[in-house]
Structure 1
Amino acid sequence: MIAATVAAAAEPLVEIRFEGAMPFSRAKAIELAAVPVGTPLDDKTADAAAARIRDACRRRHYPQARVEWRREPLRSGRQNLLLRIDRGRQGRLKEVRFSGRRAIGAAELERTLRVSPRPGLWSRWLGRGAVMDADLARDRNALAASYHQRGHAAAEVGEPVLEWVRALNGFRLTWPILNEGPVYRVGYIRLDAVDLPSEAALRRIIGVNAGERFERRRVQEAVQRFEAYYHGRGHAFASVVAQEEWNDSQARIDLLFKATPGTRPVLRRILISGNTNTADRIILREIPLKPGQRFDADAVQEALARLSSLPMFSRVAVNCRGAADLPAFDLAVEVVERRTGRVEVGVVYGESEGAAFQLNVIEKSLSLAPPFRGEALQANLGLTLGSEAIRGDAGFSNPRLFDSRWSLDIQGSYEDSETISDYFDQRTYGVNLLVSHPLGRHHMLSTGYAVAGYEVYNLEEAAAPLLQPSLVTNQELFVTSWILAWSMDYTDRVIRPTRGVRLRGSVSLGSQALGGDTDVVQTEAGASLFLSPFFRHVLSLRGGVKSVDPYGDTDEVALPLRDYLGGSRDLRGFEYHSVSPLDEAGRPMGGQSAWWATAEYRVPLIRWLDLAVYYDVGDVSLESYAYSGEGPVSNWGIGVLIQAEEFPVRFDVATPIKTLEGDRQNEKGKPHFSFSAGYRF
């Protein structure tokens, strides 16, 4: 309880004084109060400061802590804040009881609670098990909902009682179930509405039948479906109310659904706020609904989805302003901008570059005219100087080419790598130009032109006699390709999805007719399935296939174009690019087809730290479109994911279960450590 004993004007604060014992230092208490000297001190500010001190005491397991405050006016016209602290007895919650309970088991009720005994050092270290007022209020609603969902519509739950119990050497929390009441059934269902759908559609909307056990949650869901039906017909401000008529003697509740559809208004204007850097035009082009058009619920949802996907906004709200009896409405769009430019400098270690200095410059809302920001163009520049690789890349993207739904992506890269193989090094450079167009909300089609050059050098002399002649002599390569790609995304979020499915496929046709020196077809496909069986637990199933096939004047696939597995993107228990058919000396020489699959279960430990357990399997074949090689090989592993904002870091340790016969780089049962940064798509 927080009590205000004196009211005064909001004069500046001079000092915070404390009375009573605290479980932390005075300096910490001043920090927790969060009211700097000179702040105008009113009742609301004083109440919030006292609440923060009280909650801090309770998180330190003083569950009965109380803080009272008083504002003390000074002759100077300023004032002090006095916080009187009664921390009470320290102890942990050891038991939860329910009085008056008969219809539902105690164990079942306790599973709905947030405030419950949390034994163990891990819970103590994380500060779990604290008795907080907000959590108790949530638990009281959850207990009532448990009864209501089972038909006990008249059930009442009282205020909890917290008491120290000597025998427990801790606290007991008792929830009084004041009234369980009988199980109510649904009685008559009546409608007071116009413009109704067919009887079959109406039954699906209501979803509740006479004689069934009454559940208020299902009735509320019926109201939401009813309103969505009217919204879909253009009634922007339709409202539906479910009136309950109780018959206690028969334990029956009759329902009356009363609908007020209102008008089908037209859009008068679009009101935009919160965009200090982003041009209005960038926001307006993402809204399919234009002034003069009738309300369209799907168009409003699409506008929200499009705007939320833009990288320059951290939060987007789209609301309709009007009334059910008015012929027009306004669409209010409120955005909160985030920083779109970022410079990253650091020293990293990766399996493909070794220890490296890394520099990345990223801008996600670039403009080509002063002030050079706010037009949603995206650019990036990266440089990696490693002990085993040098890499540079640059990119430019226009997500709405000429304000159309077409997007343009240009990417250029250069890499000089000593880790591409154990017996040769490779330089690679290339430029890709892609244009893309969405096919509905979940599909994307892309096409474009790619140029890539490859140079193989430092080829081991001992390896040359063991390789096919074309693989040795064709050490410089220039490939020009036409690319066609398709993707589908039905996941719940772009970054770290928890539910849904993703599919992708691409074909790259390299041809001498396009300016290169190699005729080759490269195909690739992948799929991801995400499931969430428990709160924030995620099961992901991912896999892919790829193949390369020479044609025309090209007889063999050159070394730089051959397929390999191994590394943080597929087989995490194997060295980078180490899984492929082996030559006579046990060295991987690459294949022409590969497949891989992984199953991973991710568990949250704390807010910013996840633990993952996974199994990877894959194989590489010498033949094109033939996915049975000398394997498959497999591994299992454990990963730790640190959720740094916009740039997560992951550490993995994985152990091969099965390796290829004659493999010199990977050993069954030998742990392999890997590191990766960024999100995997």
Structure 2
Amino acid sequence: MALPGLSTSAWTTDSSSAPAAAEPGVVPRPWVIGEIKASGLKNVKMSTIRGQTKARKGDLYDRPDLDRDIQSLLGMGEFERVGAEISILDKPVPEHFRKAAGGDKQVLLTFTVHEKPVVRKIFFEGQKKLSKGTLSDLLSVKTSDPYDRFKLAEDRRKVMAKYREKGFLDAVVNSEVRTDTAASKVDLVFKIVEGPKSRIELVELNGAKQLKAKKLLKLMKNRRKKVYVEKDLPEDVQKIETEYKNNGYLDVRLSTPLVTLSPDKTRISIALGVEEGRAYRFGETTFSGYLVFTSSSLRKTVEYRRGKIFSQEKFEDTIRGVQELYADVGRLRARINPVKTFNDDTGQMDVHFEILEGPISYVDHVDVEGNKATKTHVIKREVVVRPGDRFSASRVRKSREKIMNLGFMDEVDVDLQASPTDPDKVDLTFDVSEGKPGVLTAGAAYSSIDGLIGTLSLQHLNLFGRAQKASLQWSFGKRVQDYSASWTTPWVGDHPTSLGFDVYNTRRVNPFDTSMSAYVEKRTGGAIRVGPRFEEDKYQLNLTYSMARISIQNVQEQYRGTLSEGTSIQSSFSAEFARDTRDSIWDPSRGTRLSLGGQVSGGPFMGDIHYFKPFTAGQTHWTLFSVEDWPFVLSAYERAGYVTQFSGTKQVPVQDRYFIGGQDSLRGYSPSGEAGYPSGGKIYGVANLELGFPLARERKKTIVKFVVFADAGGSWDRVRDISGRIGTDTRNIKTDVGFGLRFVTPAFPIRLDYGYGLNHRNGERLYQINFGLGPLF
């Protein structure tokens, strides 16, 4: 207890002031704390006070320590005011503190607090047109939070803005605070008078002659019958101006929009005036100030042609192209000054680019931020830019692509800052946003070949934070029963070499000739994969050894002379060399992947099945155009292969022949003899063309994509059987068209296609519904 008759020292600070200057007071400093208490607590616990302050019983304590603790308590946002009292206790100072302490008695430290009331409930009165959930999501103040009048005022403005956005231009929002002093709690009430909803009745563009007003007005968000959103109006005006400048009208002028509200406040009219001016065409393009590049190299960046209508967009794209060209050789500070001059003789707009190349910039530091589960070195090893390297924009872009290709990143932002120690150096920071690497999925799908199929899959793309991939998968149905597991690590030590294994146990009812259920194939086995990569993943060598026990059972009576029942062991080795320049392995929008390889079964690898199977594959992707950041991508695929038996194998087993049709080749045909050699070919070739565009995107990544496609191909028993003609004959090339959906997720990519065959024979079904997992190939 405090000694009677002795004064105390006291300090008080509120949330809008700083601590008072230190004063000697009547209690000598520094103090030795004997006890710690708090007064004024209602909703905040004493344990919270202890956790927020540094004061501890038995410690030496001084005024700077007290100031720090008071500010720490204020920083919690729970208190209006915080004070402290120091009282002397009838406890002697410990021996080891007697020289350091200001007095010979310990003290009682009492924090005196005045709590902010806690928000108990939040009410909306008068709200009808907007849901309470919608309004609640806007609020920064939540129940159980300390009451903050500034946050309440801001939330009132947010609610008002939401009503304006939804067309209630006359809405009034007030707030009321109902205080329960005894409980130190408040109820917040938003009182709303919604008023009538306003819609745009008329939008006029006066003065538009050379460009159609109807087309221009479609660019606006504030269109007829839409809800008027004031904040979108400047952007609407800018879109119209940009459209004019992209059509050569560089001198276009637009008036300030005149917005008129009807007397009953339900109808809005918007009037815009435009002075178009003359239309310009591109004239001669010249460059000066360049030393690093030749004039011809610079001209390759020009996005327009002489004599064409001047386009501001292509003009700005050209400037960016020149800047990117210089940034790729380290000239980050290159300056491009465009000078436009109207040529009276030609009637065209000549463009001259004055270039100040600037010094070369080098990379000083490379850092990674934002990673929580992933180890930093796992991300850094994908970065191809190293400290000391000359800066290269394309190599920075390549680094970002490699990080995204890990499969579990939602986004990777690159921050570029000048080095504080050297003006000719820059610091690079890759700020990553990790997604959910583990995915448990269950679903069902239907295909024309396999019927109803169920799937259950557990996948992890970032095991132990080391980018290792592991999966367990089960597919089941009347015709399918598949179990599989796999594991892959993308690096072995510090080497860019993947290592992985697969194990599987499958049972499938397979088609053959004209039957959809000709035989049952059971396959149990596994594979070991090794894949070294070279030149920053541009080149890959994929090596696989696999062994499987294969059983052919339940062969239909009419095929027993062709198909043999029994069990065999297959031991094989395959090698593939690939060149890959795609920007993404999951959803490419540009680049190619070309590969050549072969598989040897049996021979030196033993087993019962002996054959050699060379193959080739290629794919190319082009972004035709983009709507904002939604790309329309054209993709072309081709595959071809050949198989021949040797040693004791008299004919290639049925499971290793080429059957054309279904989800991975000709999607408008069944693999049961509708396309290609009925008994399975020894030679095949397939080409696919797809045009895809996003239906849903998130964080600049496509989640759902719609595609239209065309396929062509066939399989043959001998080279001399190949016919270059399209038709219904077995030797002819078959074609189809169709459309489909792509669910683009690295953990569980799904394809659903409807294919319509163009070269069916009489009696065959003209279409197929195909369900597949993974990319096309």
Asked if these proteins are the same fold (TM beyond 0.5), I'd say yes
CA distance in 2, matches of 1:299, 1:65: 51
**Corresponding letter in the other structure for 2:474:** L
1:283 aligned to 379, 393, 413, which one? 379
CA distance in 2, matches of 1:217, 1:355: 50
Over 3 Å counting, the alpha-carbon distance change for 1:35 and 1:296 in structure 2 is same
Match of 1:153 in 2: 250
Q: Bigger CA drift: 287-296 or 536-545?
A: 536-545
Match of 2:666 in 1: 571
Q: Secondary structure at the match of 1:424?
A: strand
Match of 1:104 in 2: 211
User: Where does 1:417-456 land on structure 2 (aligned, <5 Å)?
Assistant: 417-419=508-510, 421=512, 422-440=517-535, 442-456=538-552
CA distance in 1, matches of 2:350, 2:243: 21
Say whether the 8 Å CA contact 1:241–1:259 is kept in structure 2. Answer: yes
User: Where does 1:318-333 land on structure 2 (aligned, <5 Å)?
Assistant: 318-322=414-418, 326-333=423-430
Say whether the 8 Å CA contact 2:175–2:189 is kept in structure 1. Answer: yes
Say whether the 8 Å CA contact 1:637–1:652 is kept in structure 2. Answer: yes
CA distance in 2, matches of 1:524, 1:676: 22
CA shift for structure 1 position 47: 3.5
Match of 2:360 in 1: 264
Match of 2:369 in 1: 273
CA shift for structure 1 position 274: 0.9
1:342 aligned to 439, 444, 467, which one? 439
CA shift for structure 1 position 396: 1.9
2:161 aligned to 51, 67, 70, which one? 51
CA distance in 2, matches of 1:320, 1:289: 13
Match of 1:561 in 2: 656
Match of 1:472 in 2: 564
Say whether the 8 Å CA contact 2:448–2:768 is kept in structure 1. Answer: no
Q: Secondary structure at the match of 1:145?
A: helix
Q: Does 1:36 align with 2:142?
A: yes
Q: Does 1:379 align with 2:475?
A: no
Percent identical among aligned pairs is 20
Over 3 Å counting, the alpha-carbon distance change for 1:38 and 1:580 in structure 2 is same
Q: Secondary structure at the match of 1:658?
A: coil
User: Where does 1:590-629 land on structure 2 (aligned, <5 Å)?
Assistant: 590-602=680-692, 612-623=707-718, 626-628=721-723, 629=730
Over 3 Å counting, the alpha-carbon distance change for 1:189 and 1:87 in structure 2 is farther
Say whether the 8 Å CA contact 2:757–2:767 is kept in structure 1. Answer: yes
CA distance in 2, matches of 1:164, 1:606: 36
Tell me which structure has the larger Cα radius of gyration: 2
1:174 aligned to 254, 271, 276, which one? 271
CA shift for structure 1 position 600: 4.7
TM-score, normalising length: structure 2: 0.69
CA distance in 2, matches of 1:190, 1:463: 74
CA shift for structure 1 position 27: 5.3
Q: Secondary structure at the match of 1:365?
A: strand
Q: Deviations over 1:609-656 (max 9, x none)?
A: 665554444433223685444444455545455678954655544454
Q: Secondary structure at the match of 1:472?
A: coil
Over 3 Å counting, the alpha-carbon distance change for 1:505 and 1:286 in structure 2 is same
Say whether the 8 Å CA contact 1:156–1:180 is kept in structure 2. Answer: yes
2:330 aligned to 213, 231, 234, which one? 234
Q: Bigger CA drift: 237-246 or 556-565?
A: 237-246
2:641 aligned to 546, 550, 573, which one? 546
Say whether the 8 Å CA contact 1:648–1:677 is kept in structure 2. Answer: yes
Q: Does 1:220 align with 2:278?
A: no
CA distance in 2, matches of 1:600, 1:309: 22
Q: Bigger CA drift: 637-646 or 286-295?
A: 637-646
- Gaps of at least 5 residues in structure 1 are 1-8, 119-128, 367-372, 583-587, 662-666
Q: Bigger CA drift: 185-194 or 564-573?
A: 185-194
- Gaps of at least 5 residues in structure 2 are 1-79, 81-115, 698-702, 724-729
Match of 2:604 in 1: 513
CA distance in 1, matches of 2:692, 2:308: 39
2:411 aligned to 291, 315, 319, which one? 315
Say whether the 8 Å CA contact 2:496–2:533 is kept in structure 1. Answer: yes
Over 3 Å counting, the alpha-carbon distance change for 1:679 and 1:562 in structure 2 is closer
Over 3 Å counting, the alpha-carbon distance change for 1:650 and 1:192 in structure 2 is closer
CA distance in 1, matches of 2:648, 2:393: 56
CA shift for structure 1 position 520: 0.9
Say whether the 8 Å CA contact 1:69–1:83 is kept in structure 2. Answer: yes
Root mean square deviation of aligned Cα: 4.4
Q: Secondary structure at the match of 1:359?
A: strand
User: Where does 1:176-255 land on structure 2 (aligned, <5 Å)?
Assistant: 176-177=273-274, 179-183=275-279, 195=291, 197-202=293-298, 216-242=312-338
Q: Bigger CA drift: 508-517 or 101-110?
A: 101-110
Match of 1:370 in 2: none
Say whether the 8 Å CA contact 2:586–2:744 is kept in structure 1. Answer: no
Q: Bigger CA drift: 644-653 or 305-314?
A: 644-653
**Corresponding letter in the other structure for 1:65:** L
Q: Secondary structure at the match of 1:419?
A: strand
User: Where does 1:52-67 land on structure 2 (aligned, <5 Å)?
Assistant: 52-55=162-165, 57=166, 62=167, 65=169, 67=171
Match of 2:480 in 1: 389
Over 3 Å counting, the alpha-carbon distance change for 1:21 and 1:517 in structure 2 is closer
CA shift for structure 1 position 205: 5.8
Q: Deviations over 1:433-477 (max 9, x none)?
A: 333244545543323323233221122334223x2xxx437x433
Q: Secondary structure at the match of 2:686?
A: strand
Over 3 Å counting, the alpha-carbon distance change for 1:138 and 1:432 in structure 2 is farther
**Corresponding letter in the other structure for 2:494:** D
CA shift for structure 1 position 385: 4.1
Q: Deviations over 1:335-392 (max 9, x none)?
A: 11122122234555566765555432212122xxxxxx11112222223343333212
CA distance in 2, matches of 1:216, 1:347: 50
CA distance in 2, matches of 1:590, 1:204: 49
**Corresponding letter in the other structure for 2:423:** L
Over 3 Å counting, the alpha-carbon distance change for 1:204 and 1:350 in structure 2 is closer
CA shift for structure 1 position 35: 5.4
Q: Bigger CA drift: 21-30 or 204-213?
A: 204-213
CA shift for structure 1 position 264: 3.1
Q: Deviations over 1:178-205 (max 9, x none)?
A: x434456899999885755444445556
Q: Bigger CA drift: 606-615 or 671-680?
A: 606-615
Over 3 Å counting, the alpha-carbon distance change for 1:649 and 1:170 in structure 2 is farther
Say whether the 8 Å CA contact 1:579–1:619 is kept in structure 2. Answer: no
Over 3 Å counting, the alpha-carbon distance change for 1:541 and 1:243 in structure 2 is closer
2:129 aligned to 10, 14, 23, which one? 23
Match of 2:62 in 1: none
**Corresponding letter in the other structure for 2:760:** T
Q: Deviations over 1:576-596 (max 9, x none)?
A: 5554677xxxxx532222333
CA distance in 2, matches of 1:247, 1:593: 63
CA shift for structure 1 position 90: 5.0
Q: Deviations over 1:22-51 (max 9, x none)?
A: 434445544566753355525554434433
Q: Does 1:483 align with 2:589?
A: no
TM-score, normalising length: structure 1: 0.77
CA shift for structure 1 position 426: 1.1
CA shift for structure 1 position 508: 1.0
Say whether the 8 Å CA contact 1:617–1:632 is kept in structure 2. Answer: yes
CA distance in 2, matches of 1:52, 1:589: 66
CA shift for structure 1 position 415: 1.1
CA distance in 2, matches of 1:184, 1:575: 57
Say whether the 8 Å CA contact 2:378–2:466 is kept in structure 1. Answer: yes
Over 3 Å counting, the alpha-carbon distance change for 1:643 and 1:96 in structure 2 is farther
User: Where does 1:291-302 land on structure 2 (aligned, <5 Å)?
Assistant: 291-302=387-398
